[in-house]
Amino acid sequence: MTSSNGPSAEATASGRPDFVGRDDLPDRIWTVPNALSVLRLLGVPLFLWLLLGPEADGWAVIVLMISGITDWADGKLARWLDQSSRLGALLDPAADRLYIVCTLVALALRDIAPVWLVALLVGRELVLGVMLLVLRHHGYPPLQVHYLGKAATFLLLYAFPGLLLADGSGWLATAIEPFAWAFTIWGTALYLLAGILYVVQVLGIVRAERAASTVGPVR
C-alpha cells in the first residue's frame, strides 16, 4: 500500500536492507478499507456453511464474488483515501489466504477441486508460513504483498465460483467450465510464482543480514 523512495540513511549505515514493512504504516483501526477486510473475514464461515451445509452453491458464489470485489476495493480505497494502516496490512492478506485455503478444502470435500490443486496451494501457504518465521527470527516484519500475489488472488477468487457453477448441469455449466479452469490454472501459476518471489526476497534479506554481521559496522 505504500512505497519507499530508496534506502534510508539508517538502513544503509546498518547494512540492513530497507523496505516498507507493516510496522512503518500508521496505527489506525477505524478505516473504510479495514471495514471491508473485516466484512470479507466474516464471509468465510458463511461461505463454508452455504457450500457444505445446504449446498446452496448460488449463494456461495455470490459470497465469493463479493469477497473478490472487496479485495480489489480495499486496496484502491486505502490509496485514494490515504487510509493505509498496520491493521489493514495484516487483515488483507490474512483474509485472502483464509478464503483460498477454506475454499479449496470445501471444494475438495465436495469433489469439485482435484487433490493436486489443493496440495499445491496449501503447500505454498505452508512454505510462506516458514518464511514468516524466518523473518521474525531476524527481526523483520512480514513483507508487503507483491502485486503478482494480488493478481493471483483476484483470479482464484473468480475461478472458484466458476468451478462451482461448472459442477452443475445445463448450458451454463458447459459454457463456463473452460473459463473456470483457465482462471484456476493461471491463478495457481501466478500464486506459486508470487510465493517463489517472496521466498527469494526473504533469502536475500537473510544473506544481506549475514553479510553485514560478517563485515561488521563501518567505522
d(CA 35, CA 46): 17
For residue 9, the model assigns a pLDDT of: 32
Task: Give pLDDT, residue 190.
Answer: 93
Please report the pLDDT score of residue 51 as a whole number: 87
Q: Choose among 194, 111, 122, 129: nearest CA to 155.
A: 194
> Does any domain span residue 6?
no
For residue 202, the model assigns a pLDDT of 92
In a domain, 197, yes or no: yes
Q: What's the pTM?
A: 0.68
Gap between the Cα atoms of 25 and 138, Å rounded: 20
Segments forming the whole domain that contains residue 190:
12-215
pLDDT of residue 28: 66
Q: How far apart are CA 109 and CA 38, in angstroms?
A: 26
**Residue pLDDT, tens place only, 2-46:** 333 333 333 333 444 444 455 556 566 777 777 888 888 888 899
In a domain, 99, yes or no: yes
Contact criterion met (CB below 8 Å) for 14 and 212: yes
3-state secondary structure of 139: coil
Instruction: Kindly state the cell numbers that stand for 64.
Output: 465469493
Residue 5 counted as domain residue? no
Q: Which of 45, 204, 32 is nearest to 131 (CA)?
A: 204
Residue tagged 508487503 (cell numbers): 144
For the chain, residues with pLDDT lower than 50 are 1-20
Domain count, the chain: 1
Query: Residue 192 domain-assigned?
Result: yes
> Is residue 159 assigned to a domain?
yes
For residue 205, is it within any domain?
yes
pLDDT at res. 143: 77
Look at residue 188 in the predicted model and tell me its pLDDT.
Answer: 93
Task: Give the domain CATH number at 106.
Answer: 1.20.120.1760
- Residue 13's pLDDT is 36
Give the per-residue pLDDT at 14: 40
- Reading the block at residue 163, the C-alpha cell is 468451478
What is the reported pLDDT for 7? 35
Whole-number pLDDT of residue 20? 47
Specify if 3 maps to a domain: no
